[in-house]
Amino acid sequence: VMTQYPATLSVSPGERATLSCRASQSVGSDLAWYQQKPGQAPRLLIHGASVRATGIPARFSGSGSGTEFTLTISSLQSEDLAVYHCQQYNKWPPMTFGQGTKVEIK
Amino acid sequence: QTTLKESGPTLVKPTQTLTLTCTLSGFSLSTNGAGVGWIRQPPGKALEWLAFIYWDEDKRYNPSLKNRLTITMDTSKTQVVLTMTDMDPVDTATYFCTRMGAWANYYVESWGQGILVTVSS
């Protein structure tokens, strides 16, 4: 089971946003983060817990291993308004997602 | 440029079988290591993995839905078909076709735009 918190995060432009994802058992570094803007399909941000996908801005960073993971947006931009999903791919079933964290612009 | 496009009915009746097709562009399942999957998202809810198939025809299914799902690829390896039997209103969701991470890295590299399927009589 993947648990994301908080459910909603309100951050002012230019401030740091910290999103958390917890796994019920260790998943090593097999953790991905996705961004889903309103009305759009998700987009891969991070895989391997900390590897930015192609074309992803450097303000997005991932960290953690085992059961605790963090996605950090170093300086929030207005276009970062979205729901962020974490997903483990270490344990069976091989793709389980968290419930998502909604990032709002304060 | 890799693209995936879903097609199929947007309205099905309860108990019917849903058949969705994903058409691949910019890659195919003849590429060693390539994989394609399906994920759905009910309105306002979380993402749920359904199934995936890899270039070597390795297929995996979500165990909670396994008895209802079948995933196949066509002979050209540029289309992937998902069938889901015995549809119910709780299966109303946007269904996404996805390009999986290569070599059985089970994350999603890229997503189709999705197709909203409504189950209603």
Neighbours of A99 (CB within 10 A): 15
pLDDT tens-digit series, residues B35-49: 999 999 999 999 999
Mean pLDDT computed over every residue of chain B: 95
CA atoms within 13 A of residue B10's CA, in its CB half-sphere = 3
Q: Which residues of B touch A95 (CB under 8 A)?
A: 37, 39, 49, 52, 106-107
- In this prediction, residue B120 carries a pLDDT of 97
Q: Given B48, B60, B107, which is nearest A44 (Cβ)?
A: B107
* pLDDT averages per 10-residue partition of chain A, 106 residues: 96 96 97 97 97 97 98 96 96 91 94
Q: Which residues of B touch A102 (CB under 8 A)?
A: none
- In this prediction, residue A94 carries a pLDDT of 85
pLDDT tens-digit series, residues A10-38: 999 999 999 999 999 999 999 999 999 99
- In this prediction, residue A89 carries a pLDDT of 95
A90 in Cβ contact with A49 (< 8 Å): no
- In this prediction, residue B67 carries a pLDDT of 93
Residue of B40, B47, B49, B95 best to disrupt the A interface, most CBs of A under 10 A: B47
Mean pLDDT of B1-16: 96
B35 in Cβ contact with B28 (< 8 Å): no
Q: Hey, are the CB atoms on B106 and A89 less than 8 Å from each other?
A: yes
Residue B13 confidence class, pLDDT cut points 50, 70, 90: very high
User: B33: phi > 0 → left, psi -120 to 50 → alpha, else beta; which?
Assistant: left
- In this prediction, residue B19 carries a pLDDT of 98
* Identity of residue B63: P
pLDDT at B66 over 90: no
- In this prediction, residue B72 carries a pLDDT of 97
Rounded CA-CA distance B16/A54 in Å is 40
Mean pLDDT of B67-83: 96
* Identity of residue B68: R
CA distance to partner chain B, nearest, from residue A44 (Å): 6
Nearest CA in chain A to B59: A94
Residue of A56, A87, A91, A95 best to disrupt the B interface, most CBs of B under 10 A: A95
Size of chain B in residues: 121
Rounded CA-CA distance B9/B45 in Å is 21
